[in-house]
Amino acid sequence: MIFDTTTAIILAMLIPLAAMAGNMAFKNMPNLRDGFTFLCAVLTFGAVLVVLANEGNSVTSEFSLIEVFPGIDIAFNVEPLGLMFAIIASGLWIITHIYGVGYMRGNDEKHHARFFACFAIAISSVMGIAFSSNMFTLFLFYEILTVSTYPLVAHKGTPDAVKGARTYLAILIGTSIALQLTAVIWTYALAGTLDFTQGGILVGKVAGWVVPVLLGLYAFGIGKAALMPFHKWLPAAMVAPTPVSALLHAVAVVKAGVFTMLKVGIYIFGIDFLAETGASEWLMWLAAYSIIAASVVAMTQDNLKKRLAYSTVSQLSYITLGMALATSMGALGGGMHIAMHAMGKITLFMCAGAIYVAYHKTEISQMQGLGRVMPITFGAFLIGSLSIIGLPPLGGSWPKFLLMLGAADTGHLIIIGVLMASSLLNVAYLLPIVGRGFFRPLDDGAPTKRYEGPVLVWLPPALTALGCFVLFFYGGALQSFLLPIIGQ
């Protein structure tokens, strides 16, 4: 009980901003700058842990910073889903920062200060998203996250990077302003409030065709959830340096998307209301399509990061699917998948970056035999892959299990089939990478001495791979932690 919860939440948002200021101030002092950011990352994580220690998995009442429109405040509260998201993002920030320093230095990238400054703003807005207690506040930070990550995607400044960043911005800003904002204001006009409320705020306020249409505006408007056909930004964002892909495009940004999706499903519409009206039925089928289609596209990609990006598109739709199933098991499974997929996918991305730093390889076809010279990296990649596939004893197995239960609850046997097919597809596009690395011979003339790159680059993925194991054993604890979101 070092601070009260309110102070801790505010600190969790302010400390990353201090990191940003530090990066500006110590622009030309690399060690001081990066050390300071590391300190800030640890403190941010600490602040979030204080919230956890204070509140556990209870849902607190909101505190408001300022009233923007009559009845609409910038306000925050704690609830399990958001707290979990905050813990993941701030915890992984520490690891990614270490990795990022190794990557940026090992790779001779430029403009480090700008890079880490934008990174910190992004983390600050993720904290805002995680703790926001109404849709307005969430939307505000959602947009700040988009704008602050744009310079990161465009970081290299090459024509490719500029083009990728343009796609990134066009899709994310386009969907959020054209669709999500419309949905938010419409919700406000209908319900007279935007507060996240257990059981939803739309019950009794709308009926008929409006419900699926409004849900559609949200589902497509939350572009960060990468639901097809608005998924193109994610592969386009792969031009960014790998630490960005790792933390932001495997954890923070995409998870902010599906997190918003779950929040909307659970607290704006209400799971029961969705089940009653059947408004999310179409979304379930679309998510199922997205899962399969993105996996199939992933198989055709030779660029490792692009393949992982399509894999992310597919995995994000698990979470959307969990919400659209409109059962408590589905919502729980979706919530857990945020954590499990984050841990697995960040491992994979950091491995991809390590390969790039050590050998400058980006295409899978060039990676034969690399497992022999970087066994730790490829070992971590294997564990991450297995977790994504959903094999025990790795964390990724729990959400799949819960989602299947949810599908069985609602009698959607086809969805169970989709989930199983998707696991098989995961095997088909992830494991050959590992196989190629370990079992194929090295290219002629390639160095055969073991070299994993700098320690800061191979250690972090090894740690997160370990995390995938640990999460398996804490799966039950996580599930009971999340129970309040389904009203239990």
Which residues in this chain contact another protein in the complex, by CB under 8 A? 66-69, 74, 139-140, 143-144, 147, 151, 154, 157, 162, 165-166, 169-170, 173-174, 177-178, 181-182, 185-186, 188-189
Distance CA 291, CA 399 (A): 15
Closest to another protein by CB, 125 vs 347, is 125
Is residue 314 within 8 A of residue 294, CB to CB? The reply is: yes
Residue 370 C-beta: closest distance to another protein, Å: 34
Q: What is the DSSP string of 210-234?
A: HHHHHHHHHHHH-GGG--TTS-THH
Residue 69 C-beta: closest distance to another protein, Å: 7
Residue 86 C-beta: closest distance to another protein, Å: 20
Closest to another protein by CB, 153 vs 403, is 153
Distance CA 119, CA 241 (A): 12
**Closest of 226, 200, 228 to residue 214, by C-alpha:** 200
**Closest of 345, 348, 337, 215 to residue 286, by C-alpha:** 215
Extract the tokens encoding 3. Answer: 């601070």
Extract the tokens encoding 112. Answer: 């480090």
Residue 137 C-beta: closest distance to another protein, Å: 9
Q: Is the peptide bond before 441 cis (omega within 30 degrees of 0)?
A: no
Residue 33 C-beta: closest distance to another protein, Å: 17
Residue 182 C-beta: closest distance to another protein, Å: 5
Closest to another protein by CB, 125 vs 464, is 125
Residue 312 C-beta: closest distance to another protein, Å: 25
Residue 15 C-beta: closest distance to another protein, Å: 19
Which residues, in sequence order, are bridge partners of residue 376? none
Closest to another protein by CB, 140 vs 376, is 140
Indicate the burial class of 108 (C-beta count within 10 angstroms; 0-12, 13-18, 19 or more): exposed
Residue 342 C-beta: closest distance to another protein, Å: 25
Residue 169 C-beta: closest distance to another protein, Å: 7
Closest to another protein by CB, 72 vs 478, is 72
Residue type, 446: A
Distance CA 434, CA 436 (A): 5
Closest to another protein by CB, 42 vs 140, is 140
Indicate the burial class of 10 (C-beta count within 10 angstroms; 0-12, 13-18, 19 or more): middle
Closest to another protein by CB, 174 vs 375, is 174
Chain centroid, CA 26 distance in Å = 30
Extract the tokens encoding 178. Answer: 């054209």
SS3 325: coil
Closest to another protein by CB, 186 vs 282, is 186
Residue 208 C-beta: closest distance to another protein, Å: 14
SS3 134: strand
Closest to another protein by CB, 2 vs 213, is 213
Count of helices and strands (H, E) across the chain:
21, 2
Extract the tokens encoding 458. Answer: 């191979």
Residue 139 C-beta: closest distance to another protein, Å: 6
Closest to another protein by CB, 133 vs 385, is 133
Long-range contacts made by residues 471-476, C-beta under 8 angstroms, separation at least 24? 471/339, 471/340, 471/343, 471/394, 471/395, 472/392, 472/393, 472/394, 472/395, 472/397, 472/398, 473/393, 475/336, 475/395, 475/397, 475/398
Which residues, in sequence order, are bridge partners of residue 74? 66
Closest to another protein by CB, 83 vs 264, is 264
Q: Is the peptide bond before 393 cis (omega within 30 degrees of 0)?
A: yes
Closest to another protein by CB, 151 vs 200, is 151
